[in-house]
Every structure is written in structure tokens, then in C-alpha cells.
Chain A
């Protein structure tokens, strides 16, 4: 990217809320059902039907408002955004215009361990539209109204983001918070989090913003990154070539890695917002706002910073650990036992355990692992009772069944052999079989000793104590 230019980015993130029912009717709020089975006369906008606001939606949005340090408008209202489209059965979307539920907030995002504070303009509630289905087998367009009336929050950032990396990190943090609060499934692949991306560029040092373009419905972290990279590059090329950026809406085609003009400023729609007369102004009591505030858990960024400060974890590890609520809470409970080293717990959590969970697409709470079993296992490593290799075998057992690691060690005979006599034969054998490595060592390549320790571990089926083996190997080689 041309360093003479600065990229200015603002994100509008739409997140579907995981309430039981839709925002204005009693239909179930769920993804993946048979087409047009989760809709009713109300969400299909049939004549004479009326919306009634789902209070859970307001609570969830206020929680997000607290998490993003917003002020909460206790007196708020719903407005109609009028436009024609076949996926919008009433020809207006019930949204919020001039009095959003939450506004004037900020979010701290960790970029390489540093905190970047991004302004949050507003968070408002609105209903989702249906889905249009284009099928090759059918000469036309089909409409699925299951998604009509699914509750959304729209989180609008200030134009405070300065790179595609930052925008991606911001969106990841928002998604983590949604999951932390349990208010959204935040499943990108199901479209439950989508972003409209606003991009402009300006010469470094210039005060005024350049003209911005908007890309609608960018659907993954990677796509957000790529779309911004592409658009910033495009704008820089236009501007540096003496051209002018037009205010327009562009469509990002992630497969082709390109964007196209969708609407120019002249085609900009007049949404004719006005207060929805079917829904009265609603008020949330100060007590309830405070109650919701009290329910907010420690959030990922604060948690990561605490892990670095209090436990001395590496920022990158702390961030990874804190990004998942269930795992970080499990980590916290392990730390609270005081039985073993915090860094070791972290390594196991973000290493072998994360690998198993991710492979099986399950969460820590879906396993048999307990704070006791994990910390007991790590304590056995610390005491030298088992090797790291043997611990992996223990982990495989205790993740399936709540049994004590000591029993597993006993049962499977995994205890380390620290007895030199027992290991001596083994060391001699390994040295005999690896004459070249021994020669290399003698020739100055001292790091081959790691390889030789590994061979010994293998020969001992993981039971040898690697520290003792190392010493034995070194003295044996000296004697050769």
C-alpha cells in the first residue's frame, strides 16, 4: 500500500440476536429451518397485522451497549425505514433512526498487544429481512420469509479504523463480545454477523476525510480484510492518478476479489424515516439498565490485559486464551486452584486442548475435563512424575472421562523412568544405532542431542525422564 496515503475505515456491523422468538411476533428465531416455516401473518406483513416489541431484544442490545461503553437512551422508539424490495414484506423495515438505544461508546481493541480505542457511534435494534433464492432450476426468484423479523443490532463505529488489519481485529473483538454476552451465535457462515464497510483515503497529514464508498454485506473477517485492501488500493490509484472518488455503494465479490458499483449517489434512496405509529415510545427503568450492566462479565480485552499483567502471559497467548469465554473461564478456575503454574495451564489450554476442541468442533464444557483433573495432570508434570509426552496420553483420557490423572498414570504405567540403570541399556542402544548423529555431535553440531533425546523417549515409549536421559546421553558420548 502506498505510504503517502492514509486509509480511513468505519464499520457497520449487523448481528442477529439469539432470542427465542422474533423481534415483533411469536415466531421461533432459528436458522436452517425448511423455507417459509418460521413465519406468520405478522412477520410476513399481512394486512391488518401489528408488531409488538420483544423485550428480550431491548435487553440484549442494552447489554451490548454496556459492553461497548455506550450511554443508554432509556426513552427510545422504533422508526420505519421505507423501501421496496421483495424480501421486505411490509415495504418498510422497523428500525431506529434518530434515537438509537445506545450511543457515544468505544471499544478497546488489542493490536499486537497494544490497545487501540475505536469510537462507537451508536447501536440500534431493527428487524432482519427475508432471503431471496435464485435457483437455476427455476426461471425467477423465490422468497424465504423465515428470516423476516429476526432481531438485529447494528453497531456503527466512528471512522477510527486505519487499516484492514485493524478493521479485522475490531470485527473479531465485536464477535467475541457478542459470544461472551451470549446474545448472538455470531456465526459468519450463517450470515448472523455481517458488515457494511465504509472506506476513504486521504494524503497523510490532510485533515479532511476523503469521499467514502460503502461496501454492503461483507460476510467474513477475511472478506472484510480483503475488501478493504482492494478498495483502499483502488481509491489510492484513482486519487494519485488525479481522479476523484465518487460517493457510491459498491458490491464486494469475495470470490473474484473485486468490487463493482451498485448505486451511485444520484440513486441514493430516500428512506422517508418516521416514527412507527404501531409501536409506542418505550422506556427502560434506570434500575433495569443498572441490572443489565451488572450482568456484563469481564470482557476479552480486559481479561487479556489482566492475564499479561497478573500472570505474565505473552500478549499473543493471553489474547488467544481470552477470546473464548468458556475456555478463559475454565482457565480462571484452574488458576484459582493454585495447584500449578499458570503459564503451563495456558500452554495446555491454547495448545493441545484447543487443538482437540477445534478438531472436534466442541467447547470445553462439552468435555469431561475439570479444573481438578487438568491441574492435577500439570502438577504431575511439574513433579517429574510424567513427561509431556505421557501427559498427552493422560489428557486424551481425562477429556473423555472424569478420572484422576494419577489413576491414569498408574493404570497405563506412564510414570517416568528416572532410574539410571533402567535407562542405561536404552541409551547405549540409541547411541549404537545413531553413529552419524554421534559423529555430528563430536564434530560440533551439539543440537543433535535433542534428536537423540527424542529417540530415547521413543524407545522408552514416552516414559523416560527427558532431563535425565539428556544428562546420560551427554556423559555416554563423552566416554565414547
Chain B
């Protein structure tokens, strides 16, 4: 039985009918990881021992007829910037190469409570900064659809592991598109929840006002299942978390107005990507939805505002890595300044350093008003435009990325071109909205194209409902044979 090909919902059914055990699911997962990892490189660590203990616990509960959690026995991979107690959490950085957190992220506690099994930690761009997963200190992850190409980033390991059927589900984090972009490039479903819907406690901060943990799966139903297990208030640990309960997918599509923002279908986006999204919208129309053309005029400034705000926050969030208490220790023979200099020069990769310098600059006295303050004004403008747009439509459909997966090394020499791959996704973070990427076909090279659906705050039920309708209409999403 090729368990690894099954969805979380299917595995859950088999487990509850006692046709498989959690240990069998895990064995199959670990075998699959062994088989494809040499080509994919999605995992930074495989935590077989801890996973086996959890799988046994689930099997024992089932054998005794005890109640089990919603994700019982389901393998869920975790992006390696989400803290796991007693398990190395590296952020794909030399700085945290040997960092073992003494606490779990709230989402990890929730997964444990839901009886999920965590088989390992997944690769990312260092500290989640990047759009290709090539900024990992350890290794680049490859796109299962073409292993010479990138999986997208920063949650490249999370997307690729699901696309390669190593795990049915994974968690990533999304600051400017880091869940949705790799989901789009790897042909899987990825949700960036409303800011505050999922606790950020234990997610190593990149840009605190934009970061949000989100689920990946091969079906919309699986993503909904995982999202339902991780969302909700965490007020003792995260002041920005909101008391939100996911009510399940909203199945009603009738009269749904789908906004098509013209700014997302401009010259920066490939013809193939545009065409695939418009074709998908046509299918939604056939199912009863009404397309509406809308405009989000500030979109052009969004990328600049995003890189200012996110870098500013990053420069402060990453200042704690000074070599003093944990992490890369730096040179301890000289002065305090020598220690700081060596720890931070040697511990961080070039992209992280670039963002720290950019962020430090925009917060400096004399530049604060010109950059940070203006970016925050733009943020309010962009958020307002979305609010206005949602008067005219219920969801917005756009391409997830401007193009399909590019080749490894193709954009590494040009940071600005790399930044431009976030062009369709950053506005959602800036406005704190939910967005989901679903596969909507392939380009001529056979590479997946993603459609992004955006909704008002806490409209995940509607968004996932629309995505599910589309998935059903196209007869399900393709899975890559490896």
C-alpha cells in the first residue's frame, strides 16, 4: 500500500478504520523520505525517534479505544524556523546550526495535542529571507517537478516535501509570500492565514508584523484540516493572536463575486501565468461565481513598502544573535566588539546581512521619516484599498507568482530580481489578509502555475471553500511521479 501517496484525510480514515497503524504510516513516510531526499533535499533533520514515540502513543490510544486528536497519526513536516522542544531548530542558518530550543512553538504544542506525528524539520531560505530556498546555509531544496529548478521560498522545504509525497502535510511561514509562492511553484495548496489567526509564539521572528504560520497540503481539504488544528487565540504567549475559530469550509459559491485586479495582470507577470489564472476564474464562473474587474492602484508601491517594513523589523529581531548566549559563538578572544563582529559577520549569510543593513538604514535618525514612516503610510493605503475592493467583490483572484519555477542559480546574482518574485503576494501580508495558493495548470515546460485567492480578514472558510470548489471542478490536483 503506497501510503505516502494518500492525503491526510485518507490516512485518517484508514487509521480510524484500523486498516493501518500510525507506526505503519510513519514507516512508509520515513521510507519515502529515504527514497526521494537525495533528489529533493527538503529536510534539514529527520526526527525518526521522536516521531516513532508519538506514533506508538497514537497506536496505543487507538488500541485502548481512547479518543485521539484530529490529526492522529498524520505526518506533518515543520519548517525549521518553528521551535521544537529538544529538537534542533536552525532557521537554515550557520548562526543557529546547533540551537536546540527548550520550548515548543504553540503550533507544535497544538500538533502534539492533535496527535500529529512530526517526522522532521524542513529547509528554508536562511531566517525565511528569500524566494528560492537557495539562501539556506545547508543546501538548496529542489523542485520535485524539475529538480534543476527551485521550489520557491522561503518555505521551499515545506512545499517540496508535500509535492514529493514525503509528507501529506507541512507547516511553513509566510512574511511576503513564503507559503504561497513555493506552493504555487511546487503545485500544492498553501494557505497564508489572516494575521493573528495562528499564534506566532515559537516562530523565529523575521518581520513580526507580517509573519504568519501557514499549512501546506496536496488537497484543499487537507490544508483546511491542518489550519483548523493550529489556529486560535494564544493570549498568554502572543499578544497579536486573535480569538478565531475555523468553522470549516464554506461550501456556497452561488453569486460569489471574484475580483480581478488589473494591476496583478500587468507586464511583470508571464502570459502563461495570467492565462492559467483567467481560465481558472472562468471555471469558477461556470460554477456560479461572478467575475468583477477591480483596481488596487497602490500595488506598484507595495514591494518597496514591504522591503522597508520587513527589513526594519528584521534588523531589530535579528540583533539578538550576538554570539553571547547561544548560536554561533564568534571569536571570544578579543573585545566585546570583536565578538559581535565575528559572530554576526560569520554567522549570517549575505541575504540576511543585506536585510539587516537595509533595515538599520531605514530606521536611522534622519531616514526614519523618509523610509519607515512613509512605508507605514503606504501600508495603511494598501489596506484601505483592499477594504474598498471587498465592497465590490467577495474574493480576489491573482497569479501567485509572476512566473513558474526558475532554475537553481538563475537569480542568485540579482537580489532585486529575486525580490520581484514576491510581487503578487506581499500586499496580502501588508494588509494582514488571508491568501491561499492553489494549482491552476501548467506552463509549456510542464511546471505548475499557482492561483492566489485573497479574502477579507478571517474569511478562510470562504477562501478555502472557493478553492475546494475549483479543485472539484478540475477533478483534483496533479501529483508528480518521482
Q: Is the CB of B360 within 8 A of A45?
A: no
Q: Is the CB of A279 within 8 A of B239?
A: yes
Q: Which of B194-234 contact A (CB under 8 A)?
A: 200-205, 207-209
Residue of A nearest to B324 (CB): A86
Provide the residues of chain A in CB contact with B316, threshold 8 Å: 80, 82, 91-92, 272, 274
Cβ of A209 within 8 Å of any chain B Cβ, yes or no, is no
Cβ of B171 within 8 Å of any chain A Cβ, yes or no, is no
> How distant is A21 from chain B, measured CB to nearest CB, in Å?
12
5 closest A-B pairs by beta carbon, nearest first, are A91-B319, A277-B209, A277-B208, A272-B363, A47-B204
Cβ of A270 within 8 Å of any chain B Cβ, yes or no, is yes
Q: Is the CB of B365 within 8 A of A270?
A: yes
Q: Provide the A338-372 mask, 1 if CB < 8 A to any CB of B, else 0.
A: 00000000000000000000000000000000000
Q: Which of B57-104 contact A (CB under 8 A)?
A: 81-83, 89, 91, 96, 99, 101-103
Cβ of A30 within 8 Å of any chain B Cβ, yes or no, is no
- 7 additional A-B pairs beyond A50-B237, A272-B364, beta carbons within 8 Å, are A41-B101, A48-B200, A48-B201, A82-B363, A84-B319, A89-B325, A277-B313
Provide the residues of chain A in CB contact with B202, threshold 8 Å: 48-49
Q: Is the CB of A48 within 8 A of B105?
A: yes
Residue of A nearest to B82 (CB): A48
Q: Provide the A65-107 mask, 1 if CB < 8 A to any CB of B, else 0.
A: 0000000000000001010101001111000000000000000
Q: Is the CB of A48 within 8 A of B319?
A: no
Cβ of B236 within 8 Å of any chain A Cβ, yes or no, is yes
Of A48, A49, A274, the residue contacting B312 (CB under 8 A) is A274
Residue of A nearest to B344 (CB): A84
Given contacts A44-B325, A47-B96, contact A280 B208 (CB under 8 A): no
Q: Is the CB of A48 within 8 A of B360?
A: no
Residue of B nearest to A49 (CB): B201
Cβ of B4 within 8 Å of any chain A Cβ, yes or no, is no
* Max chain A Cβ within 10 angstroms of own Cβ: one of B103, B312, B320, B372: B320
Q: Is the CB of A90 within 8 A of B237?
A: no
Provide the residues of chain B in CB contact with A44, threshold 8 Å: 325
Task: For the complex, give the distance between the alpha carbons of A46 and B320 in Å.
Answer: 8
Q: Is the CB of A47 within 8 A of B235?
A: no
Task: For the complex, give the distance between the alpha carbons of A276 and B324 in Å.
Answer: 23
Task: For the complex, give the distance between the alpha carbons of A26 and B240 in Å.
Answer: 17
> How distant is A219 from chain B, measured CB to nearest CB, in Å?
24
Q: Is the CB of B236 within 8 A of A52?
A: yes
Give 29 pairs: A residue, B residue, CB < 8 Å, sorted on A.
Answer: A41-B101, A45-B320, A47-B83, A47-B96, A47-B101, A47-B320, A48-B81, A48-B82, A48-B101, A49-B202, A50-B238, A50-B240, A51-B239, A82-B315, A82-B363, A84-B319, A89-B320, A89-B324, A91-B316, A91-B322, A270-B364, A272-B315, A272-B316, A277-B209, A277-B240, A278-B208, A278-B240, A280-B239, A280-B240
Of B96, B102, B238, B368, the residue contacting A41 (CB under 8 A) is B102
Q: Is the CB of A48 within 8 A of B372?
A: no
Task: For the complex, give the distance between the alpha carbons of A96 and B31 in Å.
Answer: 54
Provide the residues of chain B in CB contact with A143, threshold 8 Å: 324-325
Residue of B nearest to A44 (CB): B325
Main secondary structure of the interface of B (DSSP, over half): loop
Cβ of B301 within 8 Å of any chain A Cβ, yes or no, is no
Q: Is the CB of B372 within 8 A of A274?
A: yes
Q: Is the CB of A52 within 8 A of B365?
A: no
Residue of A nearest to B102 (CB): A41
> How distant is B330 from chain A, measured CB to nearest CB, in Å?
12
Cβ of B340 within 8 Å of any chain A Cβ, yes or no, is yes
Cβ of B244 within 8 Å of any chain A Cβ, yes or no, is no
Q: Provide the A188-217 mask, 1 if CB < 8 A to any CB of B, else 0.
A: 000000000000000000000000000000
Q: Is the CB of A41 within 8 A of B239?
A: no
Q: Provide the B312-338 mask, 1 if CB < 8 A to any CB of A, else 0.
A: 110110011010111000000000100
Of A48, A52, A92, the residue contacting B239 (CB under 8 A) is A52
Given contacts A270-B365, A280-B240, contact A84 B340 (CB under 8 A): yes
Q: Is the CB of B208 within 8 A of A47?
A: no
> How distant is A146 from chain B, measured CB to nearest CB, in Å?
14
Task: For the complex, give the distance between the alpha carbons of A51 and B363 in Å.
Answer: 22
Given contacts A270-B364, A277-B313, contact A50 B200 (CB under 8 A): yes
Provide the residues of chain B in CB contact with A270, threshold 8 Å: 364-365
Given contacts A86-B324, A86-B336, A270-B365, contact A50 B360 (CB under 8 A): no
Provide the residues of chain A in CB contact with B368, threshold 8 Å: 272, 274
Task: For the complex, give the distance between the alpha carbons of A52 and B241 in Å.
Answer: 11
Cβ of A476 within 8 Å of any chain B Cβ, yes or no, is no
> How distant is B41 from chain A, measured CB to nearest CB, in Å?
24
> How distant is B326 from chain A, measured CB to nearest CB, in Å?
7
> How distant is B479 from chain A, measured CB to nearest CB, in Å?
33
Residue of B nearest to A278 (CB): B208
Cβ of A53 within 8 Å of any chain B Cβ, yes or no, is yes
> How distant is B167 from chain A, measured CB to nearest CB, in Å?
22
> How distant is A25 from chain B, measured CB to nearest CB, in Å?
9
> How distant is A27 from chain B, measured CB to nearest CB, in Å?
13
> How distant is B476 from chain A, measured CB to nearest CB, in Å?
36
Provide the residues of chain B in CB contact with A48, threshold 8 Å: 81-83, 89, 101, 103, 105, 200-205
> How distant is B325 from chain A, measured CB to nearest CB, in Å?
7
